[in-house]
Amino acid sequence: MTVAEVNQNLSNERYDWGPTANEDRHVNDPQRMRRLAEQAARELEDAAAEDVIRWATETFGDRICITSSMSDALVVHLASAIRPGIDVVFLDTGYHFPETIGTRDAVSAVYPVNLVNVTPSRTVAEQDADLGPRLYGRNPDLCCFLRKVEPLERTLKNYDAWITGVRREETLSRRSTRVVEFDPKRQKIKVNPIVGWTSEQVDEYIASNGVLVNPLVYDGYPSIGCRTCTLRVEAGADPRSGRWAGTGKTECGIHV
């Protein structure tokens, strides 16, 4: 199904508020946003990632962004080809590996995107002074909330939808993720264009298109978060087993 056909099917639920309208307009009609997400999820379930992104960017215009952890630039590569200048939100926690910061800078230089670097309300030093050192070890949920979740929610107030690189095969909690979803907590539409891709498809696309990849991926870190909470993973192990190892924690809170 083409984007034009999808949009024709969604014509009664098209998102037609312009970017100059009241920025809280999505809050005023969350049911409409929910209906749009549900119908788009049905229409786009088997669509190519490019068509999902094209629908999303045509629908939301400047009120959509990409969020990227900078493990790779696959979604950035896809989206920037369709909508050059799209905002790419990076959560600069203060705890990232130098390689991740380097990948962020390379993405900003190589792709036609607007890199939005988001920092927490407290620096690491301020957080240590207020809450004690190494909060990530004592209360990783709170640390993730303060350095990832809250900064993202603050930033998403500028948008009505966001594009992610979430894939179903990554964790059990992501198995039921749909290609388009309504996030009731944030009252935003969340677009997951590669949700059905396998690791093999990801690797093939990256190799075929010369996509930028964080060098840590090739050094035993298939899933990359903060350096304080990410370990190398043995070959053949769960790719996310190096995240918060030994804590039972599997998500930072952004995608739950």
Q: Are strands 180-183 and 161-163 parallel, antiparallel or unpaired?
A: unpaired
Question: Which residues, including other chains, have CB under 8 Å from residue 132's CB and lie 6 or more apart?
Answer: 138
Q: Is there a catalytic annotation at residue 252?
A: yes
| Helix (DSSP H) and strand (DSSP E) numbers for the chain | 11, 6
In eight-state DSSP terms, residue 171 is: -
Set 65, 144, 226, 252: catalytic member: 252
Query: Cα 189 from chain centroid?
Result: 12
Distance separating alpha carbons of residues 155 and 4, to the nearest angstrom: 31
Cα–Cα separations (whole angstroms), residue 88 to 12, 104, 131, 200, 253:
30, 10, 30, 25, 19
Annotated catalytic residues are 252
